[in-house]
Amino acid sequence: MQWQQAAKALFPQGHDIVEEGSLLRGSGPCGDVVFAVIGSTHHTEVGVELALDMAAEVLRTVREHPGRPILFLIDTEGQRLRRRDELLGINRYMAHLAKCVEIARTHRHRVLGLVYDQALSGGFIPNAMMADLCAALPDAQIRVMNLPAMARVTRIPLERLQVLALDSPVFAPGAENFVRMGAIDAIWEGDLAARLGQALARADPHDHRRELGEARGGRALAASIVRRVIDAAASE
């Protein structure tokens, strides 16, 4: 979906979101709450500049609009694969964006994410995957890598992976798999403005993804392992 379409459905009362290169920024009202919107478009690769621009928008929101909820609208091809970005420390720029999200959270901003088109690995980690709650639109693509690439890298036959992917959400791309594993809260259909409002009411600062994955049967171990580590008797 185009971001303009998504934005129109999310903010039927209007919005001032603008596109600057591959950065989206602006705001829009949801009921009587105004959201700060920060995003990416054109299947962009997230390089040092975009990570820094998104971070700047988060920090500006915290300074100028205390408590205003933040919505990440995500469409990305992943991290930018260039030697130049590596030379400049792209991991630090990504980390900085993640830190800004955490700082916003500690300053009582609710942070939501919405994958409206596609999200791949590194371009998705420091923004929507840091949100209190992340959703996806029905046609959204979410993946680490497609099955043929995975077959090449892991030297596991493609047919085998395809069979395994029928039963397990672990291997194959797809927003539905990320729902089952708890990383995507829900696929938003119908009235997007209503879904946004409901999500804002439910979002809280704790990371519930592992418990969701456990409850939905898509990620059986993560939650119980974390519990075991936290609760193990101290043997000192």
Q: Which of residues 136-175 bind another protein (CB under 8 A)?
A: 143-145, 150, 153-154, 156, 160, 164, 168-172
As measured in angstroms, the least distance from the Cβ of 28 to another protein is 24
Q: Which residues pair with 38 in a beta bridge?
A: 25, 72
- Please check whether residue 59 is in contact with residue 97, taking contact to mean a CB–CB distance below 8 angstroms: no
Q: Which of 101, 104, 36 is nearest to 73 (CA)?
A: 36
Give yes or no for residue 92 binding another protein (CB under 8 A). yes
Contact flag: residue 219 with another protein (CB under 8 A):
yes
Count of residues engaged in binding another protein, rule: CB under 8 A: 78
Binding another protein by CB under 8 A: which of 130, 135, 140, 200? 130
* Residue whose CB is less far from another protein, 29 or 145: 145
The angle, 0 to 180 degrees and rounded to 10, between the axes of the packed helices 48-64 and 90-106 is 20
215 is an interface residue for another protein by CB under 8 A: no
Segment 4 to 43, residues that bind another protein, using CB under 8 A = none
Which amino acid is residue 64, in one-letter code? E
Q: Which window, 6-14, 16-24, 30-38, 79-87, contacts another protein (CB under 8 A)?
A: 79-87
State which of residues 25, 105, 109, 195 lies at the interface with another protein (CB under 8 A).
Answer: 105
Q: Where are the alpha helices (DSSP H) in 65-157?
A: 83-87, 90-106, 121-124, 147-154
Q: If binding is defined by CB under 8 A, does position 72 make contact with another protein? A: no
User: Who contacts 3 (Cβ-Cβ below 8 Å, separation ≥6)?
Assistant: 17, 19, 24, 39, 41, 73, 75, 116, 117
Of 190 and 232, which CB lies nearer to another protein in the complex structure?
A: 232
Nearest to 131 by CA among 81, 184, 181, 171: 184
Smallest gap from residue 13 Cβ to another protein (A): 30
Structure tokens at 134: 């992340």
Work out whether 90 is an interface residue with another protein (CB under 8 A). Answer: yes
Determine the Cα–Cα distance for residues 22 and 11; give it in Å rounded to an integer.
Answer: 20
Q: CA-CA distance, 24 to 38, in Å (whole number)?
A: 5
CB of 26 to another protein, least distance (A): 20
Applying CB under 8 A, which of residues 1, 18, 81, 158 lies at the interface with another protein? 81
Kindly state whether residue 126 participates in binding another protein, applying the rule CB under 8 A.
Answer: yes
Of 88, 162, 186, 197, the one binding another protein by CB under 8 A: 88
The pairing of strands 23-30 and 33-40 is antiparallel
